[in-house]
A = this chain, B = another copy of it.
Amino acid sequence: MAYVSLETSGKVARTVSPNFSRNTRAGRLKHLLSTSAIDSDDVDEFCQAAEAYEIGRASARGSVGKTVALLFFQPSTRTRIGFEAATVALGSYSIGMEDMSASRTNARTGESLEDCAAVVSRLCDAIVVRHHEAGAADRMAAKSLKPVINAGDGWNEHPTQALVDIFALRRGLGTIAGRSIAFGGDPRGRTVRSLIQLIRFEAPKEIVFCPPPHYDVPTDILSAIAENQIRYRVIPEITDALTDCDAIMMAPYDMSDIGEPAASGYISPNATPESHVITREKIERTHSQALLYHPLPRQDEIHPSCDDLPNAMYFEQVRLSKFMRMAVLNRILTAN
């Protein structure tokens, strides 16, 4: 499989909205539902804005006083608190629900997602929604008067996390171009799907999957990689990634609960086999320099004894997330 060489481009050409002209960029992205709507220039713009927020050099004038409704139908810690922290830092306000079972769009009253969007969008300037159903954010966007940001919809996508991940990968690696990036754990998760669609712009040397043997890498993810002529391979042991790769994006070994409503009580099996666990001992034995990322929460796939190693980037990834969510919110709040 061929891949775009670092020398000639450093990046693959953007493949989305090629006719899109630069000066109307800001207004183009009404909602943020999928990373498939984002092109390479968008990613650069988001990363530059995030960096500017990090060093306190970016204006948020357009966001001041605006209200962002957080509608969480699924549990969340870092996404929700990250968006809250971002609204505070922008001078805007988050309103709404940490637990939508306390809303009328719950199992008991049964208001539809469409009505929920129609209603809430008349009381705020943007909606951030997490839901256990794939497509929930799209359904809300169809009836919302205001922009909708998908903060995770079932098995489908989690685009702001993917932007965070790109920002953190660039930060750790300098550039993703020419680097070997591994994905450990369940390859079916929404963050993997969203991230793959962005990473293809970054001209990595290769993508390496270390999935559990009982779950295949979804075919749409493999297609997205192939379309962009990025080399990929599948490995059976995470130590191979520690040896061969520049960065490893970990995920829980089995994320089967991601499409379940909270009330179902379903809990994913969470014992990761030794072959797929990253430990301090493995890192030290392989003298691995691979940077470790994780959208979190983790189960047991990265042992806490790794937290102090220079490889560990997953908490820095959280710190950076606030600035990326500021960038996303500010663009969404000011463009519409």
Chain A interfacial positions (CB closer than 8 Å to B): 65, 67, 69, 72, 75-78, 80-82, 84-85, 88, 93-99, 101-106, 108-112, 114-116, 118-120, 122-124, 257, 262, 265-267, 270, 296-299, 304, 307, 315, 318-319, 321-322
Contact B106 A75 (CB under 8 A): yes
- Which residues of chain B are within 8 angstroms of A95 by Cβ–Cβ distance? 81, 84-85, 88, 94
Task: Give, as a whole number of angstroms, the nearest-CB distance from A204 to chain B.
Answer: 26
Residue contact B120 to A81, C-beta cutoff 8 Å? yes
> What is the distance, in angstroms, from A261's C-beta to the closest C-beta of chain B?
11
Q: Provide the bound-state CA to CA distance between A121 and B118, in Å.
A: 34
Residues of B within 8 A of A102 (CB): 72, 75-76, 98-99, 262
Known contacts A98-B98, A102-B72, A108-B262; is A122 also within 8 Å of B77 by CB? no
Inter-subunit contact A85/B108 (CB<8 Å): no
| Cα distance A94–B94 in the bound complex, in angstroms | 11
A77:B110 contact, CB within 8 angstroms: no
List of 10 A-B pairs having minimum Cβ-Cβ separation, nearest first: A111-B297, A84-B95, A99-B102, A122-B319, A77-B103, A104-B297, A85-B123, A122-B318, A77-B104, A88-B93
A265 close to B85 (CB less than 8 A) = no
Question: Could you tell me the distance between the alpha carbons of A93 and B94 in the complex, rounded to whole angstroms?
Answer: 11
- Contacting pair B85 A318 (CB below 8 A): no
- A282→B215 CA distance, assembly (Å): 51
Minimum CB distance partner of A264 in chain B = B108
In angstroms, Cα B108 to Cα A266, docked, is 8
Extra 11 A-B pairs, beta carbons < 8 Å, given A76-B102, A77-B97, A88-B93: A76-B104, A80-B97, A85-B123, A98-B98, A98-B102, A105-B297, A110-B297, A111-B296, A111-B297, A115-B296, A115-B297
Contact A75 B109 (CB under 8 A): yes
- Shortest beta-carbon distance from A244 to chain B in Å: 27
Partner of A270, one of B82, B105, B110, B315: B110
A322 vs B322: C-alpha distance when bound (angstroms): 29
Q: How many whole Å from A321's CB to the nearest CB in chain B? A: 8
Given contacts A109-B75, A119-B315, contact A69 B98 (CB under 8 A): no
Which of B81, B88, B97, B297 lies in contact with A109, CB distance below 8 A?
Answer: B297
Closest to A86 in B: B123
In the complex the two chains form, is B82's CB within 8 Å of A123's CB?
Answer: yes
Q: How far is the CB of A138 from chain B (nearest CB, A)?
A: 16
Shortest CB distance A288–B (Å): 21
Q: Give chain B residues whose Cβ lies under 8 Å from the Cβ of A72.
A: 102
Q: Given that A98-B97, A119-B77 are contacting pairs, would A257 and B108 also be in contact in the complex, using a CB cutoff of 8 Å?
A: yes
Q: Bound complex: CA of A225 vs CA of B67, how far in Å?
A: 40
| B120 and A299 contact, CB distance less than 8 A | no
Q: How far is the CA of A98 from the CA of B78 in the complex (A)?
A: 15
Pairwise interchain contact A99-B96, C-beta atoms closer than 8 A: no
